[in-house]
Chain A
Amino acid sequence: MAKVLQVKNLRTCFDTESGTVRAVDGVDLSLEEGETLGIAGESGCGKTVLALSIMRLIPSPPGRVASGQVMLDGVDITRLSDEEMRKIRGRGISMIFQEPMTSLNPVIPVGEQIAEAVRLHLGFSRKDAACKAVEMLKTVGIPSPSERVKDYPHQMSGGMRQRVMIAIALSCRPRLMLADEPTTALDVTIQAQILDLINRLKEEAKTSVVLITHDLGVIAEAAQKVAVMYAGLVVEYSSVRELYYEPRHPYTVGLLESRPGPREKDARDRHLKVIPGTVPNLYELPPGCPFHNRCNVVMDRCKMERPEYTEISEGHYVRCWRINPWK
């Protein structure tokens, strides 16, 4: 199958007064047509910066993509001019942002916001664009769409606003959609509706999806591939099945085990397994493996040398000295 997205050794830095922070520190990923790639990890691991780097929306200064390539259908979009990149956004790549409250324009009716996208990117006339807006609202399951197009964002519930975001993102049938925590602020019942919707639309339009979330359940539900990020690095990458049933990196294992799950029968002790400590501050990253001071199987080598990103079986990559001691 054709590779829609290939990210090679991507580094994004932020130059601040307290020093340079490498928020994304050498990431390699690839994604095939119609596939969903889940990106997991706790806050501050660089998930959102990775997405913004792919979109080329990193505010500069202080941010900059320091090195690496982002290939969209074989074209390196890091080298495109701003003008060319503007043409890619919308049709090539679109993005659903985390907070539908803050990423929609509060003083423009939602219909016009959808229409704007198709007018700009697909060259629709005003009239056609208005029809398209109604059609898109219908596609994402908003009742009485021809009336709701006139609504302003504050007149809608959180779930509906998120649907509008999805309608905008999908209105130009992009090759690739980046969804940054699309369901995090929503209730479980609405979350199930939205995931269902993304899955359905993805199948219809053959769009590839990058799904960023801290919720491993959401990824288990919706993705085919997973990348687990920690301190700007991908520490494990594989098919969803392999990652959940045979996780190899101690951080992945810890994340999976610390989730509260259905309680086992007659379990007296309800304590959860924990990963000690917290995500490190990127200004004060420990040398060697960034996870070593929270790791329960740490070795001397981990404190000195950063582990390499190694393929341990077909399509399964891990960044850990324990797993790959010979390199």
Chain B
Amino acid sequence: MEIEAYEDSGSARTILSVECLKKYFESRSGVLSRQVRLVRAVDGVNLRVFEGETLGLVGESGSGKSTLGRVVIRLDAPTEGRVLFDGRDVHRLQKEELRSFRRDVQIVFQDPYASLNPRKSAESIIGEPLTVQQICDRRERRERVVRLMEVVGLTPDQMRRYPHEFSGGQRQRIGIARAIATNPKLIIADEPVSALDVSVQAQILNLLKDLQRDYNLTYIFISHDLRVVENMSDRIAVMYLGKVVEVAQSSALCGEPLHPYTRALFSALPVMKPGERKERIILEGDVPSPSNPPAGCPFHPRCRERMKVCETQAPALTRTVEGRFVACHLIGDEAAGKGLGRKEERGALI
């Protein structure tokens, strides 16, 4: 089952597709407890990423966005489903294929303080992927590191310094230099600017955009900050409790969010200037625990527009007339009414 409906993406090639992906973790309630609970961190996600685009992934903490990122780059194995990169199943790659996957896909982590080895110099951090991947020899390695440092806005004379001698923004630049060292095609940026001050945040976001333009990179940009995601992304996927609840072009999603959860998220954003009043939907309570998700639609206990059906039936991600995807009975029924077929037939790839 596949929906051939990507008018808005033009003829872009799919670089990555995530199919019915699930990732469950086991958790025990105590050290000695035999009771095992399943934490459904990612619970049936379908997504596509097109070459050269930035796909934003937003959601509150615990929505599963980071886990999804980790499974996509094979830092974790999926419980069910698969991830295809350039048409090949990422979790079945072996030897040479795996090595080339590791070259093509890189990650930039959130915390520039924790993700760099404090006992290695900037040169060896940035140069390590080059050695591991046997891309070049020692002499050429130094030249490449110099070049990479210049590209990300560091000066080569900082090469011998250690992470603690750099500021937060500079460390994130080192992390980015390390990520682009192998000439990757896809970069997962997991909250890359969340630990940074606004003025530095803007510098790093601009750097990521420049690199994308210059090296034709594809990004999966994970963040809880809607404004940052809106600024960076071409398309945005909104996650809630391990599920994708809405996917659309960035301008459409931010201009007119459809899912009640997306609408609540946007209404909760602080205003840009005082006096800009807008309707505010205050969500009751916290995100439920992914080890004990509510029946039916995962959002229904907090939803102001819930109906009877929401308590029992989980809505499938459904294509709307405008080519957007929403998992909500309110919108699903509308779309069904417009002749988009019966519900069971949907739920295909996005």
Chain A residues at the B interface, C-beta cutoff of 8 Å: 42-43, 143, 157-160, 187-193, 195-196, 214-218, 220-221, 240-241, 244-245, 254-255, 258-263, 265, 270-276, 278-279
> In the complex, are the beta carbons of A217 and B272 less than 8 A apart?
yes
Binds A, one of B81-89, B263-271, B323-331: B263-271
Q: Which residues of A contact B268 (CB under 8 A)?
A: 188-189, 191-192
Q: How far is the CB of A204 from chain B (nearest CB, A)?
A: 18
- Given the known A-B contacts A259-B198, A278-B169, are A271 and B209 also in contact in the complex, defined by CB atoms under 8 Å? yes
- Report the separation of the CA atoms of residues A241 and B276 in the bound assembly, to the nearest whole angstrom: 11
* Chain B window 208-240, contacts with chain A (Cβ cutoff 8 Å), 1 for yes, 0 for no: 010000000000000010111011100000000
In the complex, how many residues of chain B place their beta carbon closer than 8 angstroms to a beta carbon of chain A?
42
B283: interface (CB < 8 Å)? yes
Name A258's contact: one of B201, B270, B276 (CB within 8 Å): B201
Roughly how many angstroms separate A274 CA and B209 CA in the complex, as a whole number? 14
Q: List 28 A-B contacts (CB under 8 A).
A: A43-B197, A159-B286, A187-B287, A188-B265, A188-B268, A189-B264, A189-B282, A192-B267, A192-B283, A193-B282, A195-B270, A196-B282, A217-B270, A217-B271, A221-B274, A244-B273, A244-B274, A254-B199, A258-B201, A261-B227, A261-B272, A263-B231, A270-B232, A271-B209, A272-B202, A274-B203, A276-B203, A278-B169
B175-211, CB < 8 A from A: 197-203, 205-206, 209
With A and B bound together, what is the CA distance between A143 and B270 in angstroms? 25
Once the chains bind, are B273 and A220 in contact (CB under 8 Å)? Answer: yes
| Contacts from B to A (Cβ < 8 Å) | 60-61, 167, 169, 197-203, 205-206, 209, 224, 226-228, 230-232, 250-251, 254, 264-265, 267-276, 280, 282-283, 285-287
B199 touches A217 (CB 8 A): no
A115 to B45, CA, bound (A): 46
In the complex, which of the residues B198, B250, B273, B282 has the most CB atoms of chain A within 10 Å of its own CB atom? B198
Interface residues of B, dominant DSSP? helix
In the complex, residue of chain B having the shortest beta-carbon distance to the beta carbon of A196: B282
* Chain B minimum-CB-distance residue to A158: B61
Report how far A235 CA is from B305 CA in the complex, Å. Answer: 46
Nearest neighbor of A224 in chain B, beta-carbon distance: B274
Residues in A with CB closer than 8 Å to B285 are: 143
Closest to A244 in B: B273
